[in-house]
Amino acid sequence: MQTEYSQLAQVIRDTCRRGPVYYICNKGNWGDALIRQGSLRFFHDMGLHYYELALRKGRIYRLVERYLPLALRGSLIYGGGGSWCTLWDRSIKMMNIIASSYRQVIILPSTFEKRVDAPNLTFFSRDRFESMQVVPEANFCHDMAFYLERQTAGAGSGDGYFFRMDKEGSGKIPIPPENVDISSQGNHLTPTAPFFEAIDHYREIYTDRLHVAIAACLLKKELHFYPGVYFKNKAVYRSSMLGIYDNVHFHDL
């Protein structure tokens, strides 16, 4: 995976060399905190000097009003995620509002069911398949959560069920009574250590949550991964798990 991350680092250096550089993480659930932490570690390792702009709940327009004068003088790195789709479209709304205010905008690895067109956007897709059909000019890079690399893991015991209970679930999976939709229990700013600890408690993981699956990969768990309502999970599995991580089983429904 280091090759793809090195290529991403080079694009950031080339695109943002004039500075200043601003970063906005994709606001979301606890799984998005893994993306944010992976991104921040990546910036640190590449020696990037940047300012993180805080997203306040339900305040897209206030964010724009507060930071637009700064934006006019710099480049933006926008956090990766899944909010470029029919169900979740916050990133689309954000880019429609603010993209033209920056010299350059880099979209970190995301899943694309929809897109925004602007000449200053550089896209990174976290899959090599359906997203690349929507944004064929995108570069491929693995989800930024993978940059957290393999975590220190215990043996764990038993089966952990972490299926999503929101509208992105397929509706085809029988949900066991012991299920915990862990991603819904935090947000993009929640510390990630308890997330990994909850996954590490078990030996085998069953989930349709992408970042539960990524955490299970990083913890070397036996993973049973299921699709959600659209292509995201299988596309990332085929791009970043298959042939890279052992003991990962994707179950088509």
Distance from C-alpha of 111 to C-alpha of 87, rounded to nearest angstrom = 12
Are 114 and 198 contained in the same domain?
Answer: no
Contact criterion met (CB below 8 Å) for 177 and 161: no
* pTM score, whole prediction: 0.93
Residue 57 has pLDDT above 90, yes or no: no
pLDDT at 94: 86
The mean per-residue pLDDT over the stretch 5-33 comes to: 93
How many other C-beta atoms are found inside a 10 Å radius of the C-beta of residue 212?
30
Q: Residue 204: beta bridge partners?
A: 159, 222
Q: How confident is the model at residue 54 (pLDDT cuts 50, 70, 90)?
A: confident
The mean per-residue pLDDT over the stretch 60-79 comes to: 66
Are 18 and 143 contained in the same domain?
Answer: yes
CATH code for the domain in which residue 55 is found: 3.40.50
pLDDT at 101: 79
Nearest to 28 by CA among 87, 77, 116: 87
Domain boundary among 115, 147, 179: 147
Are 42 and 108 contained in the same domain?
Answer: yes
Are 21 and 104 contained in the same domain?
Answer: yes
The count of C-alpha atoms lying within 13 angstroms of the C-alpha of 90, restricted to the half-sphere facing its C-beta, is: 20
Are 141 and 176 contained in the same domain?
Answer: no
Give Dmax over CA atoms of the chain in angstroms. Answer: 54
Segment 182-192, tens digit of pLDDT: 999 999 999 99
Are 29 and 65 contained in the same domain?
Answer: yes
Q: How confident is the model at residue 63 (pLDDT cuts 50, 70, 90)?
A: low
Are 142 and 157 contained in the same domain?
Answer: no
Are 40 and 142 contained in the same domain?
Answer: yes
Q: Residue 160: beta bridge partners?
A: 205
Segment 137-161, tens digit of pLDDT: 999 999 999 999 877 778 899 999 9
Residue 17 has pLDDT above 90, yes or no: no
Residue 58 has pLDDT above 80, yes or no: no
Position with higher pLDDT, 53 vs 221? 221
Are 177 and 238 contained in the same domain?
Answer: yes
If one counts the domains in the chain, the total is 2
User: What is the domain extent for residue 42?
Assistant: 2-147
The mean per-residue pLDDT over the stretch 237-244 comes to: 98
Contact criterion met (CB below 8 Å) for 79 and 26: yes
Position with higher pLDDT, 115 vs 67? 115
Contact criterion met (CB below 8 Å) for 209 and 31: yes
Domain boundary among 147, 177, 196: 147
pLDDT at 68: 54
> Judging by beta carbons within 10 Å of its beta carbon (0-12, 13-18, 19+), is residue 136 exposed, middle or buried?
exposed
Are 17 and 101 contained in the same domain?
Answer: yes
If DSSP codes are grouped into helix, strand and coil, which group holds residue 19?
Answer: coil
Are 87 and 6 contained in the same domain?
Answer: yes
Are 132 and 172 contained in the same domain?
Answer: no
Q: Minimum mean pLDDT among 21-35, 56-70, 81-95, 100-114: which range?
A: 56-70
pLDDT at 126: 98
Domain boundary among 102, 119, 147: 147
Position with higher pLDDT, 164 vs 67? 164
